[in-house]
Each structure stands twice: as C-alpha cells, then as structure tokens.
Amino acid sequence: MVSKRALIEDLFGRYVVVSSSYFPQYIDLFISCLPPTSKVTSKEIIEEHTLFNFYTSFLSKEKTNLIYEMMGKGSNGAKLNIEQLIGFGGSKVRKPSYLKYCPLCYKEDMDTLGESYWRIHHQIIGAYYCSKHHVLLKESTVLSTGSGTEFICTDEQVCNEKLLEDNYSDTIKLLNLRYIHNAELLLNGNFPRKKLTYIIDFYIDRLRERGLASTNGNLYMKDIQELFLNFYPKQYLKMMQSDIDPESPSNWLRLFVRNNKKNRSPLRHLLFLQFLGVKIDNLFQNKKVLGKKVVSVQYNPSFDIQKRREQWLQLIKENPGANRSQLKEKGKGLHTWIYRYDWDWYDKVTPKAALGKEKAGTIDWEKRDEECLRLVSEAVEIILQREGKPIRVTPSSIRNTLGFGSWFHNEKLVRTQRYLKEVKEDIDDFRVRKIKWAINEMLSKGHIVSPYKIQLYAGFDGSNKKVRKLILEILGTNNHI
C-alpha cells in the first residue's frame, strides 16, 4: 500500500477520518466493503473488538445507544464526539497513550500463527498484567490516538519478546489481576445498562450493609475513606490514577458516591466495587435499590472500627497459641470484615503461622513452578546462543535474562530450583567456552593468536595459571578451531 488514503478508500468505500483506536467509526461502511461471502457484522466488531462495552457499561442506555450508532454510522456532524460523550475530556483518569501488548502472547502468536495482533483486553485502562500469562504488559511504540491514520501491525518493528522485570508486590499484582478480571467481564458481558442514580443507590445500599452509611443513607465518609485507604496501597492508587488526599474535602472518593450527573471513569467504578467486595454482575442483575430513602430495618447504629479492633484483640487474647486459620474459624464474621477492610492492621497484630503458611494460598507456586521451568530452559538456550562475549549460565544470569524479581529464588519453586542447580555451568566448562570464543573471534578478525593474548582477549587475568593450562590444552587438541 503506497497511499494511506487509497487504503482507507478500499476499506471504507470512501475517504473517512478515523482518529481513535478505542472507538473506530464508520464500521457499517467497512462491513459493506468486505467480500460478499463475509459473515462479519458491525455488531460483532463493535462489541467484541473495541472498548465499547468497557466504556459504556456504566453509562445510560440512551448514551450507550448513541455511541453505538456513532461507531456504526459515523459522527455525521454530531455536536459531541464519542470521547466527549464518554467523558474523557473532563475526566481525571487519562487513557493510555500507547497500544499495549503482552510479550508472551506476542511470542505465542509468532510461534503458532507467524503473526500477531493487538488484543483489545490489553488496552484496558489500568491493566498492568496479561490475564493469561500474569506477566507485565508492555507499551509498544504505537500511539493509541492521533489525527493521522496509520495501519501498524503487531510485529518486530514495534514489539519484542523480552519480559519486563516485575518489581510490584504480590498484593499489587493480585489487586490488579482482580481488577483486570472484572474489566474483562465488562468487556465481554454487555450487561444491561443502568442509570447513574441507580448505581449510586446501589453503592449506598452496600455501604449501609457494612455499617458505612446510616439507615437514611447518609455516608460515614471518614470511615469509608479510612477503610478504602487500608484496602488499597497508596502506590496502587497512584498507578490507577486514583490517589486520594484524605484531607481534601473534594477528593474523588468523597465525590464519587454523590448524586451529581458527572460521568465517572469505569476504572473508578471497578476500584470501588472491588473495595466493596461486590461481584460485577450483582450490580447489573440486581433489581431493587433503596439508596437514600428511609428504611425501617434496624442496623447496627454505632459502627466503629475501633470496636472491631478491640473485639479482634480480645479474640487473640482468649485463644493463646491459636494460628490464623483457627482464629478465623472462631471469629468468623469479624475476621472477614477485618481481613478485607483492615488488612494492614490485621497483619500487624495477628500471630503469624510458623512458616508463613497463610500466605502460601495467595500464589499458586506449583503452577508458577511449571511456568518457570519452561522459561528457564528457554533462558539457558538464549544465554548459550547469545552473540558476543559468553555469559556463564548461573541462577542469577538466568534470572536477569528473564527479568524476574527476587521471588525467582523462592524454594517453593521446587522443580525450578532443582533444575537451576543441574544447569549451573561448571566454572571450568565456562572457561573453556570463553577461551574457544576468544580464539574464534581473534582468528576471524585476523589477530595473531598466542596463549597470552587469548587469555587477555577472553577477559582473564594474564597471570592465571589454571586458565593458561586450559588454553594450552585447547590449542593442543583442537586443530579444527
């Protein structure tokens, strides 16, 4: 394709301006240009291959339909464009500037299909991981928006297979994976749309159930904020563009459950639902909400975080020597609440199990072991076949090659650790490999080869007698070098 304009005319039947990767338009025109045997529909493209469902799930039915129309037929002189309708303009949560991809998905595609493609769920705002491989997503060099139309393939020009080093804590990783899970439910679910007033009433009901709002639906904002900040690490809120200044009366959380008409980013809806511990479909399938109306049901009137803490401390005191799961059994409701909303405090005061047994549940080490083992053997190949000065195969050079964090040395990765021991290169083997490499290099560059020069070229100390002996042996036995 020499001319982009000609390509657009081929794809759409006429020249159209498409400026957003998230909300492509004129899809009806595109469909009509496909071969007559094609069974692809506009609906399929919009609902399965764009971020439409993700961004409209919390909008009204009317707005959702309007956006759908605009994607299918084009804007046709509408006053607002799609991104304005969604509220991107005024939103504090900005969308990613570059298209993202997973290096392992990309590698799999290349290995099995010979080409790759941009996956829609990797473009979700706030998604840091691939939900399939649990590795960090990478930013490509391709802008997600822009005035000029470009057609850029997911290929080696803009992507590569190298993994990013993951320095995030397990807590953050798990929080984000759950967020991604929920976001993907939105993306694939096409739930019935609800009015914003319904959604806010739903939130108030859930808060009331937790003693975080009065019977009338007045919010105990100070408590909500405290629990929210306990639930999400500060670093994570920053990553999600949702940091909170607890002192500011107009921080986003305080405004979030207020009945104003402003659109909220789906990212913040998801953060809030995750905090509430509510399943996504629960919000959309639920029929009745009370919200701020007066209700006759009696709830615990004086909700008090201090009280719950006291009760928990009392429980620990009454059960000396009990481990966490025994305490959990004894203080069932209390435990659930404190564990979920006051975790840092819980972790501080509650006795730990002998060998951190409790935490084992959060990571599937066996599965990770299996994945690691496969990656390690690939890494060994990469190290051995690497061009340039040889690197010794050791657990740390393997770890560097894979870009893994310190968890890589965890003894729970039983098979991986065993394999690492087996595969660790013997120091003399490594010396031999380095010497052979140096000799080949020197010969190919036309250098004069002497044992001393080889020794220096390979990076050894010139006075190392052991190495000198090895060099002489190699020179003596290997005529084919």
Give the nearest distance from C-beta 109 to Zn ion in angstroms.
10
Q: Is the Cβ of residue 57 or residue 116 nearer to Zn ion in the bound state?
A: 116
Give the nearest distance from C-beta 127 to Zn ion in angstroms.
11
Look at the block and give the residue holding tokens 């679910």.
189
Q: Is the Cβ of residue 129 or residue 284 nearer to Zn ion in the bound state?
A: 129
What b-and-e string marks burial along 380-417, b requiring 16 or more CB atoms within 10 Å of the CB?
beebeeeeeebbbbbbebbbebbbbeeebebeebeebb
* Rounded CA separation 156/59 (Å): 38
Give the nearest distance from C-beta 130 to Zn ion in angstroms.
3
**Structural element, H or E, at residue 141:** strand 138-143
Q: Does 270 bind Zn ion (CB under 5 A)?
A: no
Give the nearest distance from C-beta 372 to Zn ion in angstroms.
16
Stretch that binds Zn ion, among 51-59, 129-137, 215-223, 395-403 (CB under 5 A): 129-137
HSE-CB of 58 using CA atoms within 13 angstroms: 26
Q: Is the Cβ of residue 130 or residue 175 nearer to Zn ion in the bound state?
A: 130
Token digits of residue 401: 């090659």
Among 97, 128, 120, 116, CA closest to 161: 116
Give the nearest distance from C-beta 289 to Zn ion in angstroms.
38
Give the nearest distance from C-beta 168 to Zn ion in angstroms.
16
Q: Is the Cβ of residue 133 or residue 368 nearer to Zn ion in the bound state?
A: 133
Give the nearest distance from C-beta 202 to Zn ion in angstroms.
33
HSE-CB of 55 using CA atoms within 13 angstroms: 28
- At a CB cut-off of 8 Å and minimum separation 6, what does 258 contact? 200
Give the nearest distance from C-beta 114 to Zn ion in angstroms.
17
Q: Is the Cβ of residue 47 or residue 108 nearer to Zn ion in the bound state?
A: 108
Give the nearest distance from C-beta 134 to Zn ion in angstroms.
8
Q: Is the Cβ of residue 136 or residue 383 nearer to Zn ion in the bound state?
A: 136
Q: Does 162 bind Zn ion (CB under 5 A)?
A: no
Give the nearest distance from C-beta 132 to Zn ion in angstroms.
4
DSSP string, 424-440: SPPHHHHHHHHHHHHHH
* Rounded CA separation 167/111 (Å): 28
Among 443, 431, 427, CA closest to 479: 443
* Rounded CA separation 59/79 (Å): 18
Site for Zn ion in 48-67 (CB under 5 A): none
Q: Is the Cβ of residue 160 or residue 396 nearer to Zn ion in the bound state?
A: 160
Stretch that binds Zn ion, among 61-69, 97-105, 396-404, 449-457 (CB under 5 A): 97-105
Q: Is the Cβ of residue 92 or residue 132 nearer to Zn ion in the bound state?
A: 132
Stretch that binds Zn ion, among 130-138, 192-200, 341-349, 418-426 (CB under 5 A): 130-138
What b-and-e string marks burial along 353-374, b requiring 16 or more CB atoms within 10 Å of the CB?
eeeeeeeeeeeebeebbebbbe
Give the nearest distance from C-beta 378 to Zn ion in angstroms.
15
Q: Is the Cβ of residue 133 or residue 453 nearer to Zn ion in the bound state?
A: 133
Give the nearest distance from C-beta 188 to Zn ion in angstroms.
17
Stretch that binds Zn ion, among 84-92, 132-140, 305-313, 344-352 (CB under 5 A): 132-140
Q: What are the helix (H) ranges across 57-97?
A: 61-73, 82-86
Phi, psi (deg, nearest 5) at residue 245: -95, 105
* Rounded CA separation 315/324 (Å): 11
List 100's β-bridge partners, or say none.
139
Site for Zn ion in 98-127 (CB under 5 A): 102, 104-105
- CA torsion sign, 178 to 181 to 187 to 193? negative
> What are the start-end ranges of the E strands in 12-131?
98-101
Stretch that binds Zn ion, among 79-87, 133-141, 333-341, 366-374 (CB under 5 A): 133-141
* Rounded CA separation 280/124 (Å): 16
Q: Does 130 bind Zn ion (CB under 5 A)?
A: yes
- Choosing from 4, 61, 132, 162, the residue that interacts with Zn ion (CB under 5 A) is 132
**Number of residues engaging Zn ion in binding (CB under 5 A):** 6
Q: Does 43 bind Zn ion (CB under 5 A)?
A: no
Q: Is the Cβ of residue 180 or residue 470 nearer to Zn ion in the bound state?
A: 180
Q: Does 133 bind Zn ion (CB under 5 A)?
A: yes
Site for Zn ion in 331-390 (CB under 5 A): none
Site for Zn ion in 396-435 (CB under 5 A): none
List 136's β-bridge partners, or say none.
129
Q: Is the Cβ of residue 119 or residue 269 nearer to Zn ion in the bound state?
A: 119
Q: Is the Cβ of residue 51 or residue 130 nearer to Zn ion in the bound state?
A: 130
- Contact residues toward Zn ion (CB under 5 A) are 102, 104-105, 130, 132-133
